[in-house]
Amino acid sequence: MSAVEPTGTPGGGGSVVEVRTSATAALIPTIRAVASDLAARADFDLDAISDLRMAVDEACATLVDVASPGSALQCSFTVHGNVIEVEARVDTAGPESTVSTDTFGWRVLQTLADEVELRTDGGRSVGILLNKRADPTPR
């Protein structure tokens, strides 16, 4: 184990990469580049890399929209064998800052990822948890 250590992620184990940026759309290209790189290193096939990159972009763009001014976007990637788990989170100003799951973007996110979950924290923060397997599920 080097400087990167598991930080109490569900399932434990796996290698963890955390990226923290200002919650601004201008920095999402950096985060999706990290997602692509990790997926390529985890031997994801090309379609699955593309899907993960787009899913992470979608999750981050959704969260940046509801982030409180000046807050950070925290993205944590955990590689468990052939699955990458991503948790993205931003601070929010209050319970009215919610993510709508009744949108085109959310439906696309559900299509791209194997599992997606919205996690709210009493109006203090909102997170999106998603899982992607190395092989795309046939559609």
Q: Quote the tokens at residue 117.
A: 């979950």
Specify the residue, 56 or 79, whose C-beta has the smaller distance to other proteins: 56
Q: Establish if 40 lies at the interface with other proteins (CB under 8 A).
A: no
- Nearest approach, Cβ of residue 113 and other proteins (Å): 11
Q: Establish if 109 lies at the interface with other proteins (CB under 8 A).
A: yes
CB hemisphere CA count around 122 (13 angstroms): 0
- Nearest approach, Cβ of residue 24 and other proteins (Å): 10
Q: Establish if 112 lies at the interface with other proteins (CB under 8 A).
A: yes
Q: Which of 67, 73, 75 is nearest to 35 (CA)?
A: 75
Q: Establish if 132 lies at the interface with other proteins (CB under 8 A).
A: no
126 contact partners, CB below 8 Å, separation of at least 6: 63, 66, 89, 90, 92, 97, 98, 99, 118, 119, 120
Q: Establish if 26 lies at the interface with other proteins (CB under 8 A).
A: yes
CB atoms within 10 A of CB 97: 18
How are strands ordered across the β-sheet holding 83-91?
15-22, 72-80, 83-91, 125-133, 115-120
Q: Establish if 101 lies at the interface with other proteins (CB under 8 A).
A: no
Q: Which of 49, 74, 71, 65 is nearest to 106 (CA)?
A: 65
Chosen residue from 35, 42, 51, 84 binding other proteins by CB under 8 A: 51
Q: Establish if 54 lies at the interface with other proteins (CB under 8 A).
A: yes
Q: Establish if 1 lies at the interface with other proteins (CB under 8 A).
A: no
Which residues here bind other proteins, judged by CB under 8 A? 25-26, 28-30, 32-33, 46-47, 50-51, 53-54, 57-58, 61, 64, 104-105, 108-109, 111-112, 139
